[in-house]
Every structure is written in structure tokens, then in C-alpha cells.
């Protein structure tokens, strides 16, 4: 009864909230004064109906709504559409005017790391500036040979079909051509889809099927979220083939990023300049960009950037080529004019020569216009109020009474004009669906180019426009001059814009466009060609079938909802979504969780607080007048701390590192520490902290190298050559030897770009005491206690039984649930009224769904580490390691023999060889805040060395824990209290 009462209250509150929200949206919303259908203002389900139930029809519905409501309408609860190209320059303003994109529309693409999917104006600007040199016309002109080679390959493909007397599918060929060009332009690896017609056909169809699911992604992002959170072995069979192709592209891109990263780290990167940018791959350009912050150079972000560039660079040129060739062949007079103009330039012709031809340029502009570019709405969000006053370009189909009414659009409102609206504006393009290149000629034609939206407009205009233009000019000129073609059993619907799936789609079930035999002595090569830009008859259901199926579902919906199984499913779905959104709020810091959000995870929180305390502490002791007294090491210390520091070219972390290490230490803690600083520049005077007053007052020993002249010269050579792999090993050995001379039981090596938490030393002593007790029982020798680790290596792996046997676990849970419920139904629990369908829903839907949530949460969230844990694998980096004195000499001998390499990897190798246990203290006691490595490592490597939960530390709580540990018996013993 209590549960029933709670459920009733929840339902009542939901109804009240829904009613109040409906009233607000209709009457009190900032957009309530803008005309439009009430359903669109009330709910996004209106858009869903015309996006999914009536597939891909909302852009056309919007055009119809303008004929009823006028040039400005409200098309969703928070979005406005304007059918007036005179307002385009206000919506799609130049880059100096701030305009954000609307995130709701971009989530359908599933690649937030791309240039085109950056919602924030400033983020887009940074990404664009880093890519602009690579996409410059100068660089594309240099790469023109790459495009020309593919044009020649395309001509050879057609010639082969001519010789064999067989048709060629130009739609597949155009898709393969543009896909090869953009891949080979962007990446160091090469693709050759054009060499295999079957592969080209499969990839094009997969791409179309992927785009057909794009509206589902927008309205129900939880579905792809769920699929992506599952292990690949489970999710891949459920994915559409186009998504599998996209993941394969991700793999290729990831491999290229890895290879470039390794080459740069090892100093064997390509030295020969490639074109004006000097870069062979777009990732070379991005990784070397000084404009991009470290978070923008993370591998996942770069993978998404590469994938989006390939998708855009494939679909757009291929679509335009389909449009151009259909209309040229459907209108022979246009083809004759174009051929006549092309005779004026040599064969072969360069892109620069072809651009000078006005009629060819007009044909390409008209092809771009009727391809419609990105057909999906691309709204902009202004941060100032916009006043819309109808211009002279308002469509004649709008009611006359609405053509003079001004309207104020509140700040923060998504506003858009679709390419369908812009490209069919009858005031600019009379007979808009007629292919008429003449409209682009002369001064009037130049004026019309202001309204060309095929490559978007304003500060977000497509960066790849010049690459696409080069492809179009070279392909159209080559094929028109060298081949003669005529259409066969093809009509305009085979290329018409009938469905909106991010790009224009023609009629479903088209058999394609065909070209029949011709007799043209000037160009006799081609006898039969086919151009099929749309699906074969088996590719999808017809719109009428979809409507019929939808009506049948709606007719029987009340009956379905009365079923007990339906109620169980709806309640479970509600609970699942509540848990899902709770996890998104709470578990977003785990890098292996499905809820991970990298946009804010690298922002400093507790570290900033601790850094302020550290700087205050350092500034007090650096004062020239009356600095506070300070106690240093006394007697035989418990631990010797060695820190190696060098001058950095940008940010300097050394003071904050030392300050956070010492600030807050109890007097007895400080006496138990011996702090040694090695200024590891061969000329220590270049270091900003050399000879600073605070160093002498706080540090027990601060010096530079005490070596022979020969060794110093060698170190200077290493420093000049930036051979950090050898010099880094030398410095580490030097630091270890310095602490061995102090004769402390433990040696702690810290890097100089860290922030330590309050109470770090007492927790370290407590951990060392625990290790000592363990070793008395197990007699296991150990090499270090790690005070820092990153969770990036602590996800599910094949060594985890729950992960490697996931299909078995899912199966057992479903089977056991089904069996248990069937047994319960037949025994004394009959009052449960569990019918077979309900049991199937619980067992086969609910149980796997909630089990999947467990895996989605991530291993570290489910089983967080605590206290002293063994970490013989997956421990990363040398930001803070504590060595027992008896293990140091062997390590020094090993490092001395190896001479150079990655210090952390060499320590792990030594531990494996010597069978020494490695421990870690959880949670980490320090954060790695150095975004710029002192060893010239790439930002993507230094950024990934991050303690993801460290920033959630509570300063007050840590102070209380510190005070409590100072009273701990074991800690007191180790402090000699």
C-alpha cells in the first residue's frame, strides 16, 4: 500500500508538472509571441512525428507552415525558423559576431569532437584556426595531383565498362571517388575504394542506411549511448553496417594518430616538407598547432574530427556530381553549351584554368544549389536580441498580412533557415526547382551567390569548400569532354530532394538513372552508363508502408498499454532512465564509464585551492622582511624526498609543487623529512627559482650537478640535443643516489609539476606501516609505493572474469530469472499474476538492461580502490614514488646499465625481472597539473596522465583526516613521537 501511495503521488506530481509546463510553453515562454502550430510550441513530439513517423519530412512541413503562419514561425518549444533570405547574414553572421550552434541538433551526428559539431563559438574558432592552413586553397592546389590521379582512375573505370559494353553505376563511382580523395588528402594512409566497384556499392549503401538513422539519434540519444557503452563483441552485431564502417574508420584514424605520436616522441618524425603546410597528415597539423589546448589534442577528439571530415567530404561532392550529370543529360542544350566552352581550354586542364570558365562555374553553382548541402536545420544562437523585419525577399507564398510585422527574438534562441528555404526562395531563384545555370551568370549571378548555402554561411562556412570545388571542376570537365551519355528510364524523382536525412535523399525504391547508347563521333567512347543516386528497391520500406504500419500500431496502442507486460516494461524503463541520468550526473569522471564526459573532467578544482595555499606559503617564506621561522629535517629522517626540476618554457609549477608538499605539515612531520632539490639545468641560473630566498629557508639541500667536467660537457650535449631519454635517466639516478647518502629508510621521488593534497605524508606513513605488517607475514620484497596513478588504465579488461565472460553472465542472469519466475508462478506466489509475456519482458528485457547499466558504470566506480593495493600492472608514470632503501641500489645499478629510455617503463621492467611487488596508495595523494611536459612529450600524453577523482577532494575533510592520523599509533611510531 505504501508503494502504491508513493506511485500515485509521483503520477500526480508528474501530471501537475506537465500541465504547468504546457501552460508556460504556450503562454509565458519567451517565444510565446511568435506564430506557429500549438503542438510544435508544446512538445518536441511534433518534430518527431515528421522526422521519424513521416520519415525525413519536417523540413518540407516547415515550408508548408510558412504558407499559413508567415515568414517567422516557432517550430519546436525553443526554436525559430525564418523563411526570408534577407535575414541570412544576421543569423549566419561573420566570425567576429558570436554565434553558437544548437547542441540538440548536433547530437544526431555522434561526433562532438568535430569542427562542424562544436557548439561554442570560441571552441569552433580555435578548431577552425588549427585546420585552416591544411584546407587553404594554396595547400589544395599543391595536392591537385592527388585529385587528378583519381579523376584518371575514374575515367579508366568508365572506359572499361565501355569496352565491355556493360553499364557503370556512376553514383557508386562518385561516392568512391570523393571518399578516396578526402581520405588521401587528410591522412597519411591511402585508400582505394574506387578500385573495387562491389566495395564502393556496399560502402555507399551502408552510408545511406547510417544517415537514415540520424533522426533517431537526435530524438533518442540514449539508444546509441547504450550501444556504445556495451563491449564491442556484444554491440557490433546490433549495429547497422554503416556504423561498423565508421568504427573501422575510427580504428584507422586511431592507428595513424598513434604512429604520428610515436614518431614525434622518438624524434623520427617526417622531416621532408609536404606542401605549403609541411604536413603529410591533418593530424600532424593538429598535433603541432600552438592554438589548440591539450584537451583538443586528445586521441578521441582527433578521431571524431577525422571521421566528421571524411563523412562531410564524401557525401557533399558525390551528391552534387549526381545532380549535375542528371540535369546535363536531361537537358542536352546545357551539355552542348558546356562542351563548347570546354574546348577553349587545353586537355588536361588545371583547376585554375577551369575556374576561369563562367558557364562551367555556373553549372557547378547550380549543382551545389540543387544538392542542398546539409539539409538538416543548422540553428545559430545569438547572445543579443534580434529584431526580425520582413525583407523584400520574403516568399510570395507567405500570407500578405504577415509580410510587414516585425518581431523580437530573445537572446539565447536557436534561429535557423534551412537550405531548402534559402535555395528555393522565389524572390532570388525564380522557378527554383529548374536546373538553370544561366541564373549564375553576369552581375545578377554574382549577387545571387550571397544566398548560396550549400557550404553553409558566415563564420561557420564549410572549411572544405575549396577541396570540394576542385573535385567538381576536374570531374565535370573530364567526363563531359571525354564521354557521351544519355538517360534511360530515369526521371527527376531519382535525384529530387524528397527526404531529409542530414543530406537530400531521392525517392525510395528508385532503380537509378541510366544512360543509353549514343552516336557522337566527337565523343564515341561511352555506350551505356547508369547513374543511381538512390536506393535499390529492397533497401527500405516505402513511405506509404511506414504510414500504414504506424496507423496499425496507433490503433492497437490502447490494448497494448493494458497488458501487464507493458506496464512492467514502462515502469522498468522509467526506473532505468532515472538510474541512467543519475549515473550521468554522478559517474562522469571515470574515463572507462559510459557516462564519461571529457569536456570538464580536466578542470582544476581542489588543485586550485591547494595551489593558492601553496603560493601563499611560498610567498611568506620568500619575504625580504620578517619571514616566519621554519623547522627543517632533524636527526635521521624517516624519508628523503628528492625533486628534480628544470626551467620550462611556458608554465612553471615548481613553487606550487614544493609549497603543496610542505604547507600544512606538522612540525614533527617536517623533521621526519629531508628535502633535496636538484636544479637539473646545466646552467642553474636559467631556472627562475635558483637563488630564491624561500629555497634556502625551506629546503634542506638545493644544488646543481656535482660532476666532473667531462660529465658536465656530456650533460650539456644531451641538453642541447634535447635527448631527454638519456638525461632523464641520469637525473633520476642522481636523485636516488643523493637520498641514499642521507641514509633514510625511505626515498620519495617527486616530479616538479604536481600538487599534493593536505595530509599526504601521514597517509603515506600509515601505508608504509601497513606494507611492513604485510611483508612480515608474506616476506614479499617490494620496490615502491605509488602515490599517484591514473584511472585510464583501470577499466574492464580480459583478465576480469565479469568482463571476459560477459555473454555467459547475461545468459545466466536471464535464464535464472526466467526459471525462478516460472517456478514462483506455479507455487504459492500465484497472487503475483505473472503471465508468460510479463516473465519474458522481465527476463529478456529488464534484466539485461539493468545488467548493462552495471557494466556501463565502469569498473572503477563499482570497485574503487582504497588504502594500500597491489598494482603490478597498469600503474602509470613517476609523479610520486616511495622506495624502500634496500631496493634502491639494485634499481640504480639497472638504470645505470640501461643508460637511456623511459624511466617509468624501465622501473617496471626491473620490477618484473626481479619479481618485486608494486603497491599504490588509493586514492592518489597528488595531481599531475603539468599540461606541458619538460621532456617535450605531446600534450595528448601529458593530459592523459591525470587523477580523475583528485579534484573532488574536500579541503576541510582532508584537514580532519590529517589531524586524526597525527594521533594514530603507527604514524606516531614512524614519526618517532
Asked whether residue 963 is assigned to any structural domain, the reply reads: yes
Asked whether residue 929 is assigned to any structural domain, the reply reads: yes
What's the CA gap between 62 and 660, in Å, rounded? 60
- Segment 128-136 shows an average pLDDT of 94
What's the CA gap between 280 and 270, in Å, rounded? 8
What's the CA gap between 962 and 752, in Å, rounded? 23
Q: What is the mean pLDDT of the chain?
A: 86
Whether 180 and 303 share a structural domain = yes
- Segment 845-873 shows an average pLDDT of 88
Asked whether residue 459 is assigned to any structural domain, the reply reads: yes
What's the CA gap between 593 and 588, in Å, rounded? 7
What's the CA gap between 745 and 735, in Å, rounded? 15
C-alpha cell read off for 678: 636538484
Res 543: pLDDT: 41
Q: Give burial (CB, 10 Å; 0-12/13-18/19+) of 254.
A: middle
- Residue whose C-alpha cell is 626540476: 645
Q: Is the pLDDT of residue 161 over 80?
A: yes
The answer to whether the annotation marks 398 as part of a ligand binding site is no
What are the angstrom distances between the C-alpha of 930 and each of 400, 613, 728, 754, 785?
Answer: 63, 18, 17, 7, 22
Length of the chain as a residue count: 977
What's the CA gap between 539 and 509, in Å, rounded? 7
Res 523: pLDDT: 41
What's the CA gap between 647 and 654, in Å, rounded? 9
What's the CA gap between 780 and 212, in Å, rounded? 60
Helix ranges restricted to H, 622-666 = 654-662
Whether 320 and 216 share a structural domain = yes
Whether 174 and 66 share a structural domain = no
What's the CA gap between 729 and 723, in Å, rounded? 10
DSSP per-residue string spanning 786-810: ES---GGG-S--TTSHHHHTHHHHH
Give all strands (DSSP E) within 145-246, no chain letters.
none
What's the CA gap between 696 and 699, in Å, rounded? 6
Asked whether residue 606 is assigned to any structural domain, the reply reads: no
SS3 258: helix
DSSP state of 701: E
Asked whether residue 524 is assigned to any structural domain, the reply reads: no
What are the angstrom distances between the C-alpha of 594 and each of 467, 514, 646, 810, 848?
Answer: 36, 47, 39, 18, 16
Res 187: pLDDT: 92
C-alpha cell read off for 386: 534580434
Res 4: pLDDT: 56
Whether 956 and 898 share a structural domain = yes
Beta bridge partners of 488: 514
- Residue whose C-alpha cell is 537572446: 411
Q: Is residue 292 within 8 Å of 126, Cβ to Cβ?
A: yes
Whether 429 and 414 share a structural domain = yes
DSSP per-residue string spanning 721-767: TT-HHHHHHHHHHHHHHHHHHHT-SEEEEE-SSEEEPTTHHHHHHHH
What's the CA gap between 134 and 128, in Å, rounded? 10
What's the CA gap between 906 and 894, in Å, rounded? 9
Q: Is the pLDDT of residue 243 over 50?
A: yes
Res 642: pLDDT: 96
Residue-wise pLDDT for 940-955, tens only, equals 444 557 888 899 999 9
What's the CA gap between 637 and 975, in Å, rounded? 9
763-774 exposure pattern, b = at least 16 Cβ within 10 A, e = fewer: bbbbbbbbbeeb
Asked whether residue 515 is assigned to any structural domain, the reply reads: no
DSSP state of 135: T
Whether 885 and 754 share a structural domain = yes
Q: Give burial (CB, 10 Å; 0-12/13-18/19+) of 779.
A: exposed
Whether 175 and 130 share a structural domain = yes
- Segment 248-252 shows an average pLDDT of 85
**Candidate from 172-186, 194-208, 485-499 with smallest mean pLDDT:** 485-499
- Segment 392-407 shows an average pLDDT of 87
What's the CA gap between 832 and 517, in Å, rounded? 73
SS3 921: strand
Q: What is the 3-state secondary structure (H, E, C) of 854-894?
A: HHHHCHHHHCCCCEEEECCCCCCCCCEEEEEHHHHHHHHHH
What's the CA gap between 83 and 634, in Å, rounded? 80
Ramachandran sector of residue 187 (left: φ over 0; alpha: ψ -120 to 50; beta: rest): beta
Q: Is residue 700 within 8 Å of 663, Cβ to Cβ?
A: no
DSSP state of 53: I
What are the angstrom distances between the C-alpha of 582 and each of 225, 452, 577, 638, 857?
Answer: 15, 45, 8, 45, 11
DSSP state of 417: -
358: domain CATH number is: 1.10.630.10
Asked whether residue 580 is assigned to any structural domain, the reply reads: yes
What's the CA gap between 29 and 41, in Å, rounded? 9
Q: What percent of the chain has pLDDT over 90?
A: 56
- Segment 411-418 shows an average pLDDT of 97
Q: Is residue 42 within 8 Å of 24, Cβ to Cβ?
A: no
For 250, residues 6+ apart whose C-beta sits below 8 A from its C-beta are: 303, 307
Res 941: pLDDT: 44
Q: Is the pLDDT of residue 524 over 70?
A: no
Res 102: pLDDT: 95
What's the CA gap between 768 and 868, in Å, rounded? 9
What's the CA gap between 885 and 865, in Å, rounded? 26
Nearest to 480 by CA among 316, 319, 342, 320: 342
pLDDT bin (cut points 50, 70, 90) of residue 776 is confident
Whether 162 and 293 share a structural domain = yes
Q: What is the 3-state secondary structure (H, E, C) of 528-584?
A: CEEECCCCCCCCCCCHHHHHHHHHHHHHHHHHHHHCHHHHHHHHHHHHHHHHHHHHH
Show the domain range for 54: 31-109+376-435
What's the CA gap between 606 and 243, in Å, rounded? 40
Whether 868 and 779 share a structural domain = yes
701: domain CATH number is: 3.90.550.10
Q: Give burial (CB, 10 Å; 0-12/13-18/19+) of 714.
A: middle
533-552 exposure pattern, b = at least 16 Cβ within 10 A, e = fewer: bbbeeeebeebeebeeeeee
Beta bridge partners of 169: 530
Whether 45 and 21 share a structural domain = no
How many separate helices (H) and strands (E) can be counted in the chain?
42, 22
pLDDT bin (cut points 50, 70, 90) of residue 934 is very low
First to last CA, the chain: 61
Of 324-338, 506-520, 527-541, 579-593, highest mean pLDDT: 324-338
Residue-wise pLDDT for 318-361, tens only, equals 999 999 999 999 999 999 999 999 999 998 899 999 999 999 99
Q: How far is CA 107 from the centre of its chain?
A: 11
Residue-wise pLDDT for 957-971, tens only, equals 999 999 999 999 999
DSSP state of 169: B
Residue 125's Cβ-side half-sphere holds a number of Cα atoms within 13 Å equal to: 11
Query: How many CB atoms neighbour CB 27 within 10 A?
Result: 9
Residue 563's Cβ-side half-sphere holds a number of Cα atoms within 13 Å equal to: 14
Residue-wise pLDDT for 297-324, tens only, equals 888 899 999 999 999 999 999 999 999 9
Whether 302 and 368 share a structural domain = yes
For 471, residues 6+ apart whose C-beta sits below 8 A from its C-beta are: 147, 177, 178, 181, 317
Q: Is residue 633 within 8 Å of 673, Cβ to Cβ?
A: yes
Q: List for the chain the helix, strand, coil content (%; round to 5).
A: 55, 10, 35
pLDDT bin (cut points 50, 70, 90) of residue 511 is very low
Q: Is the pLDDT of residue 516 over 50?
A: no
- Segment 417-424 shows an average pLDDT of 97
What are the angstrom distances between the C-alpha of 567 and each of 438, 560, 850?
Answer: 62, 9, 17
Q: Is residue 169 within 8 Å of 532, Cβ to Cβ?
A: yes
Asked whether residue 594 is assigned to any structural domain, the reply reads: no
Whether 255 and 345 share a structural domain = yes
Beta bridge partners of 676: 642, 701
C-alpha cell read off for 811: 545468459
Residue 741's Cβ-side half-sphere holds a number of Cα atoms within 13 Å equal to: 10
Count: domains in the chain: 6
Query: How many CB atoms neighbour CB 969 within 10 A?
Result: 9
Amino acid at each position: 500500500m505504501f508503494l502504491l501511495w508513493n506511485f500515485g503521488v509521483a503520477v500526480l506530481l508528474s501530471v501537475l508538472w506537465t500541465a504547468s509546463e504546457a501552460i508556460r510553453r504556450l503562454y509565458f515562454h519567451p517565444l510565446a509571441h511568435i506564430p506557429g502550430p500549438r503542438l510544435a510550441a508544446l512538445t518536441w513530439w511534433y518534430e518527431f512525428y515528421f522526422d521519424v513517423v513521416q520519415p525525413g519530412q519536417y523540413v518540407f512541413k516547415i515550408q508548408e507552415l510558412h504558407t499559413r503562419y508567415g515568414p517567422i514561425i516557432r517550430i519546436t518549444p525553443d526554436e525559430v525558423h525564418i523563411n526570408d533570405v534577407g535575414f541570412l547574414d544576421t543569423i549566419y553572421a561573420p566570425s567576429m559576431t558570436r554565434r553558437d550552434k544548437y547542441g540538440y541538433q548536433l547530437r544526431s551526428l555522434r561526433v562532438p569532437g568535430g569542427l562542424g559539431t562544436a557548439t561554442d563559438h570560441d571552441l569552433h574558432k580555435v578548431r577552425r584556426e588549427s585546420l585552416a592552413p591544411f584546407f587553404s586553397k594554396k595547400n589544395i592546389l599543391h595536392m591537385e595531383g592527388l585529385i587528378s590521379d583519381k579523376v584518371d582512375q575514374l575515367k579508366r573505370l568508365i572506359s572499361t565498362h565501355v569496352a565491355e559494353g556493360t553499364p557503370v553505376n556512376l553514383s557508386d563511382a562518385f561516392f568512391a571517388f570523393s571518399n578516396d580523395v578526402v581520405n588521401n588528402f587528410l591522412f597519411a594512409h591511402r585508400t582505394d575504394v574506387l578500385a573495387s566497384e562491389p566495395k564502393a556499392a556496399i560502402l555507399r549503401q551502408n552510408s545511406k542506411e547510417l544517415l537514415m538513422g540520424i533522426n533517431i539519434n537526435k530524438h533518442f540519444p540514449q539508444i546509441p549511448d547504450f550501444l556504445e557503452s556495451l563491449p564491442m563483441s556484444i554491440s557490433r552485431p546490433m549495429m547497422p553496417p554503416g556504423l561498423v564502417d565508421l568504427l573501422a574508420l575510427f580504428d584507422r584514424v586511431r592507428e595513424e594518430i598513434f604512429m604520428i605520436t610515436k614518431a614525434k616522441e622518438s624524434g623520427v618524425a617526417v622531416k621532408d616538407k609536404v606542401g605549403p603546410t609541411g604536413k603529410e597528415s591533418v593530424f600532424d597539423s593538429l598535433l603541432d598547432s600552438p592554438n589548440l589546448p591539450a584537451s583538443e589534442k586528445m586521441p578521441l577528439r582527433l578521431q571524431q574530427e577525422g571521421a566528421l571530415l571524411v563523412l562531410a567530404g564524401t557525401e557533399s561532392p558525390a551528391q552534387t556530381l549526381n545532380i549535375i550529370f542528371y540535369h546535363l543529360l536531361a537537358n542536352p542544350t546545357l551539355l552542348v553549351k558546356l562542351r563548347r566552352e570546354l574546348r577553349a581550354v587545353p586537355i588536361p586542364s588545371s583547376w585554375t584554368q577551369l575556374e576561369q570558365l563562367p558557364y562551367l562555374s555556373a553549372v557547378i553553382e547550380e549543382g551545389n544549389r540543387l544538392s542542398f548541402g546539409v539539409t538538416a536545420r543548422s540553428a545559430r544562437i545569438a547572445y543579443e536580441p534580434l529584431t526580425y523585419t520582413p525583407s523584400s525577399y520574403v516568399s510570395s507564398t507567405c500570407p500578405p498580412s504577415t509580410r510587414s510585422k516585425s518581431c523580437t527574438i530573445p537572446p539565447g534562441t536557436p534561429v535557423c533557415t534551412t537550405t531548402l528555404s534559402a535555395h528555393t526562395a522565389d524572390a532570388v531563384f525564380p522557378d527554383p526547382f529548374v536546373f538553370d545555370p544561366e541564373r549564375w551568370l553576369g552581375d545578377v549571378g554574382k549577387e545571387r551567390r550571397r544566398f548560396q548555402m550549400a557550404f553553409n554561411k558566415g563564420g561557420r562556412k564549410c572549411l572544405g569548400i575549396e577541396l570540394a570545388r576542385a573535385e567538381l571542376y576536374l570531374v565535370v570537365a573530364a567526363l563531359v569532354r571525354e564521354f557521351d551519355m544519355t538517360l534511360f528510364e530515369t526521371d527527376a524523382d531519382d535525384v529530387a530532394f524528397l527526404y531529409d536525412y542530414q543530406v537530400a535523399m531521392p525517392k525510395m525504391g528508385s532503380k537509378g538513372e541510366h544512360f543509353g547508347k549514343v552516336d557522337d563521333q566527337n565523343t564515341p567512347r561511352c555506350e551505356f552508363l547508369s547513374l543511381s543516386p538512390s536506393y535499390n528497391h529492397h533497401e527500405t520500406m516505402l513511405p506509404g508502408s511506414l504510414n500504414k504500419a504506424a496507423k496499425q500500431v496507433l490503433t492497437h496502442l490502447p490494448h497494448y498499454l493494458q497488458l501487464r507486460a507493458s506496464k512492467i516494461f514502462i515502469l522498468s524503463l522509467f526506473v532505468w532512465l532515472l538510474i541512467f541520468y543519475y549515473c550521468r550526473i554522478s559517474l562522469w569522471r571515470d574515463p572507462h564509464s559510459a557516462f564519461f564526459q571529457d569536456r570538464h573532467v580536466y578542470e582544476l578544482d581542489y588543485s586550485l585551492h591547494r595551489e593558492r595555499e601553496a603560493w601563499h606559503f611560498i610567498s611568506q617564506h620568500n619575504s625580504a622582511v620578517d619571514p616566519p621561522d621554519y623547522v627543517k629535517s632533524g636527526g635521521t629522517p624517516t624519508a628523503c624526498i628528492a625533486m628534480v626540476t628544470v626551467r620550462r618554457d611556458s608554465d612553471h609549477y615548481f613553487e606550487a609543487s614544493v609549497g603543496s608538499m610542505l604547507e600544512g605539515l606538522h612540525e614533527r612531520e617536517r623533521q621526519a623529512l629531508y628535502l633535496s632539490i636538484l636544479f637539473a639545468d646545466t646552467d642553474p641560473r636559467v631556472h627562475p627559482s635558483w637563488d630564491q630566498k624561500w629555497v634556502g629557508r625551506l629546503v634542506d639541500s638545493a644544488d646543481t650537478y656535482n660532476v666532473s667536467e667531462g660529465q658536465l660537457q656530456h650533460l650539456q650535449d644531451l641538453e642541447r640535443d634535447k635527448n631527454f631519454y638519456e638525461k632523464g635517466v641520469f637525473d633520476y639516478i642522481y636523485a636516488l643516489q643523493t637520498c641514499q647518502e642521507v641514509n633514510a629508510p625511505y626515498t620519495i621521488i617527486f616530479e616538479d609539476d604536481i600538487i599534493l593534497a593536505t595530509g599526504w605524508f601521514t597517509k603515506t606513513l600509515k601505508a608504509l606501516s601497513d606494507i611492513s605488517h604485510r611483508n612480515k607475514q608474506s616476506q614479499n620484497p617490494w620496490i615502491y609505493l605509488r602515490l599517484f596513478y591514473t584511472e585510464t588504465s583501470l577499466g574492464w579488461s580480459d583478465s576480469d572474469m565479469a568482463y571476459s565472460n560477459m555473454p555467459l553472465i547475461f545468459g545466466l542472469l536471464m535464464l535464472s530469472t526466467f526459471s525462478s519466475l516460472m517456478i514462483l508462478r506455479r507455487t504459492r506466489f500465484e497472487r503475483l499474476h505473472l503471465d508468460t509475456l510479463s516473465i519474458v519482458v522481465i527476463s529478456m528485457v529488464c534484466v539485461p538492461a539493468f545488467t548493462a547499466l552495471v557494466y556501463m558504470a565502469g569498473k572503477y566506480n563499482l570497485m574503487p580502490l582504497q588504502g594500500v593495493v597491489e598494482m603490478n600492472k597498469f600503474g602509470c608514470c613517476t609523479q610520486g614514488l616511495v622506495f624502500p632503501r634496500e631496493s634502491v641500489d639494485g634499481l640504480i645499478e639497472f638504470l645505470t646499465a640501461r643508460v637511456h629510455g623511459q624511466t617509468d617503463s624501465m622501473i617496471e621492467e626491473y620490477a618484473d625481472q626481479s619479481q618485486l611487488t608494486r603497491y599504490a596508495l588509493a586514492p592518489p595523494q597528488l595531481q599531475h597539473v603539468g599540461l606541458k611536459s619538460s621532456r617535450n612529450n605531446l600534450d595528448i600524453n601529458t593530459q592523459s596522465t591525470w587523477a580523475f577523482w583528485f579534484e573532488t577532494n574536500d579541503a576541510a575533510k582532508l584537514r580532519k583526516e590529517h589531524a586524526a592520523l597525527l594521533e594514530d599509533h603507527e604514524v606516531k611510531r614512524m614519526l618517532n613521537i
